[in-house]
Homo-oligomer: A and B are copies of this chain.
Amino acid sequence: MNNKVKIWGLGIGPGDPDLITVKALKILQEVDVIAYPTLDGGESLARSIAKPHLTSNQEEIIISIPMLSDRYPAQGVYDSAAIKISAAVHAGKSVAILCEGDPFFYGSFMYLFVRLSENHLVRVVPGVTSLAACSSALALPLAARNDVISVIPGPLDEKDLEERLLTTNVAAIIKVGRHLGKIKRILRKIGVIDNAHYIERATMDNQHIRLLSEMDGDTAPYFSMIIVRLSGDILEL
């Protein structure tokens, strides 16, 4: 471990505890303090992924994020978390901030990063993204040769979402949640719903996979993903 670095953003992977990297595992077990988010003080997904690897003598900083569905918490949550982490570093401790998937791939870690990197050396250890986990779990090669992959958030409005889908070859639609009905309507309209695969909790014990065309209802868990291949080289495999 680099001893000059006192704050780490650790990608701990998509869910299966063994999908943590060797590098992140070493750092996780050497730091004095771990910090992680919870929703409204409930169980932390990040901590539960890291749990089999934790040593027993580590301090924990809990970052409690208020649950607001598609909205975002007031930035004060991150101000106060950054102050706690800074205080630990000033007390001579090293801190790992646990991040599901990869820290810089839509993670809330970035809000801590911008605050902490003003005064500290913060290093990021990349992790396996939910996107890689979903394509492996679906046994679905994502892109070949000169295909364009787009990662598209489900909360975009209907017209915008449709335009984004029409200008890519392969799409990963994230943050499906209450946007499932809208997403199905668009994919049916542009004629690709039969190429769309739905997956939730990829690589976890309760992983769930469906063909999108076989799914009823208009809502899904927030942390679910739809992968759809629209055009391009990948369809010729």
Taking beta carbons and an 8 Å cutoff, which residues of A are in contact with B?
11, 13-14, 16-23, 25-26, 72, 102-106, 109-111, 113-114, 117, 122, 124-129, 132-133, 135-136, 139-153, 155-156, 163-164, 167-168, 175, 203, 237
Closest to A102 in B: B132
Contacts of A141 in B (CB 8 A): 104, 109-110, 113-114
Contact B152 A148 (CB under 8 A): yes
Contact B143 A105 (CB under 8 A): yes
Closest to A152 in B: B148
Contact B142 A146 (CB under 8 A): no
Contacts of A152 in B (CB 8 A): 148
The listed residue (B114, B136, B151) touching A237 by CB distance below 8 A is B114
Bound Cα distance A231, B144 (Å): 27
Q: For A109, A141, A167, which residue has the most chain B Cβ atoms within 10 angstroms?
A: A141
Contacts of A13 in B (CB 8 A): 21
Contacts of A237 in B (CB 8 A): 110-111, 114
Provide 27 A-B residue pairs closer than 8 Å at the C-beta atoms, listed in order of the A residue: A11-B136, A13-B21, A14-B126, A17-B22, A18-B22, A20-B22, A21-B22, A22-B25, A102-B135, A102-B136, A103-B136, A104-B132, A106-B145, A110-B144, A111-B237, A117-B139, A122-B139, A124-B139, A125-B136, A126-B132, A126-B135, A127-B132, A147-B153, A148-B150, A148-B164, A149-B150, A163-B167
Bound Cα distance A113, B151 (Å): 24
Contacts of A114 in B (CB 8 A): 141, 237
If A110-B237, A148-B153, A151-B149 touch, whether A18 touches B21 (CB-CB below 8 Å) is: yes
Contact B22 A135 (CB under 8 A): no
Contact B144 A106 (CB under 8 A): yes
Contacts of A102 in B (CB 8 A): 128, 132, 135-136
If A136-B126, A150-B168, A163-B167 touch, whether A142 touches B18 (CB-CB below 8 Å) is: no
Q: For A11, A102, A109, A126, which residue has the most chain B Cβ atoms within 10 angstroms?
A: A126
Bound Cα distance A9, B117 (Å): 37
Q: Give me 5 other A-B pairs in contact (C-beta within 8 A), A106-B142, A126-B203 excluded.
A: A11-B136, A19-B21, A104-B140, A106-B144, A129-B129
Closest to A124 in B: B136
